[in-house]
Structure 1
Amino acid sequence: MTAALQYRARPSLMVKRQSLTDKAYSAIKAEIIAGHISPNNFIDLPQIEDQLGMSRTPIREAMLRLQTEKIVEIVPKQGIRILPFSVKELEEFHQIISSLELQAVGNICRRKLTRTDIMPILYALSSMENAVKTQDAVGWADANETFHRGLFILNGNSKLMETGLGYRDVIQRALTLAFSHISTADRERSLRNHNHLKEVILAADELAARNIFLEHCDWIGKQLQTVLAQREITSL
């Protein structure tokens, strides 16, 4: 099966003076992250060339980068397959990202940011609250993603931000799908945890912030494992 590529690049993924390879990479990756191209589906080079208005060379180079990140697999004589994540792979990536975010939380506390400074995560919390009230699972997952990306963006270490956001890009589609299976009660508890973290960040209490974050990550990780096992989901 071949999935059509509907190119609508996210502004956050686009930077000035990109090469054609960078543009192709950003466009295709954005569509995969957003879930517009389903796992195990194939997209072919002629189709992408036509839709992006590019030659084969930069698109092939972009695909090689995506294959290195284990987002796609180039299958000879068939095309490019979107790789699914096993539950174990998702768990492993989640552990890595949580470790990076823990450092980001510590950095944020040391910066002693004000409520105005942390508006990106405050907006995300507001969106999470609205999603809980309306039982909007997709909206909640999007707001949760925005919150966690905000931790990297606000941490003050550009290298940590780049690395952390890169990892979140890789698992965003699978993680969003996994979160669609958790209960409303779990979303409510997650919102409380995030709000608690926000308060200690504003108080610049690094030790408390690290402890709250670690407890939350351990809890949500176990919830995801449990709910996916109950539904006998082995890949996303």
Structure 2
Amino acid sequence: MGHLKASNLVTARERLRDQVAHALRAALISGELRPGHVYSAPTLAEDFGISATPVREAMLDLAREGLVEPLRNKGFRVTEVNEHDLDQYTEIRTLIEVPMVGRITRTASQADLEALRPIAEEIVRAAHDHDLTGYLEADRRFHLSLLALSGNDRLVETVGDLRKRSRLYGLTALDRRGELIPSAEEHLELVDLMLSGDDEAAQQCMTRHLGHVRSLWAKGEAPSHS
């Protein structure tokens, strides 16, 4: 699997576990590790070309995030997210992020809002470059950096957890069809609306964006997970 190459890892021992966890998350999101399938730490370790211990530790980190579940003497099963789960995650994010965008538009400084633009541009660039890992990382940083302007650390943690649990499946297929680019460009639109001080329009944009993301989830849940 492309994300599970030892070349993607730094050699420093103290960072190995985190690097493995990062690569596994990327493989989960891209669909290389498939929902409902069971993977053993020794088998994955062979793909990495390392011992099973850091892989097992990384998988336990993912289990704490709800991305996989441990199976005694078998390995780890990739958790499946059904339509009902996705609807609930979207509802919670909408209840949190939409009004918060309005509040931040009214209270944040122009400099703080403008600082979001380079991240939004990074998202668009990654979508055009078919850089899925870069796309997802920049998207995560944008949304959590935006919410951090509220000053509520617990809120940021909550949304971060929701994002992990409602990850995109089959992102490669969406990328091939060019369906990530419109969603990416909505981040720039949101920044412009917030800078203009139009809190109502910014909230409408965030509502539309979360609905757009939800539709991508639905498409990513295709049975083939291609």
Give TM class, smaller chain.
Answer: 0.5 to 0.7
Indicate yes or no: 2:142 matched with 1:147: yes
Q: Which stretches in structure 1 are left out of the alignment for 5+ residues? A: 10-19
Which residue type is aligned with residue 39 of structure 2? F
1:233 match: 223
Indicate yes or no: 2:39 matched with 1:42: yes
Contact 1:85 1:235 in 2 (8 A): no
Q: 1:131 to 1:76 in 2, by over 3 A?
A: closer
Query: Where do residues 193-208 of structure 1 align in structure 2 (5 Å cutoff)?
Result: 193-208=186-201
2:24 match: 32
2:92 match: 96
Q: 1:203 to 1:148 in 2, by over 3 A?
A: same
Contact 2:108 2:149 in 1 (8 A): no
Mapped to 1, the partners of 2:103 and 2:18 lie a distance apart of 28
1:213 match: 206
Mapped to 2, the partners of 1:151 and 1:35 lie a distance apart of 26
Q: Deviations over 1:161-192 (max 9, x none)?
A: 11111222333xx31634741642x4443344
Indicate yes or no: 2:70 matched with 1:74: yes
TM-score by length of 2: 0.67
Shift of 1:76: 1.9
Q: 1:70 to 1:87 in 2, by over 3 A?
A: same
Contact 1:8 1:27 in 2 (8 A): yes
TM-score by length of 1: 0.64
Indicate yes or no: 2:81 matched with 1:85: yes
Shift of 1:208: 2.0
Shift of 1:24: 10
Which residue type is aligned with residue 210 of structure 1? Q
Contact 1:108 1:156 in 2 (8 A): no
Contact 1:125 1:194 in 2 (8 A): yes
Which residue type is aligned with residue 89 of structure 1? D
Q: 1:117 to 1:8 in 2, by over 3 A?
A: farther
Q: Deviations over 1:76-101 (max 9, x none)?
A: 22123332434543443333334332
Query: Where do residues 45-194 of structure 1 align in structure 2 (5 Å cutoff)?
Result: 51-52=53-54, 59=57, 63=60, 66-67=62-63, 69-114=65-110, 116-118=111-113, 121-134=116-129, 136=130, 138=132, 139-171=134-166, 174-175=167-168, 177-178=170-171, 180-181=173-174, 183-184=177-178, 186-194=179-187
Query: What RMSD in Å do the two structures reach over aligned CA positions?
Result: 4.1
Shift of 1:126: 1.5
Mapped to 2, the partners of 1:224 and 1:50 lie a distance apart of 32
Q: 1:169 to 1:8 in 2, by over 3 A?
A: farther
SS of residue paired to 2:116: helix
Mapped to 1, the partners of 2:115 and 2:170 lie a distance apart of 23
Query: Where do residues 1-20 of structure 1 align in structure 2 (5 Å cutoff)?
Result: none
Mapped to 2, the partners of 1:132 and 1:71 lie a distance apart of 24
Q: 1:79 to 1:218 in 2, by over 3 A?
A: closer
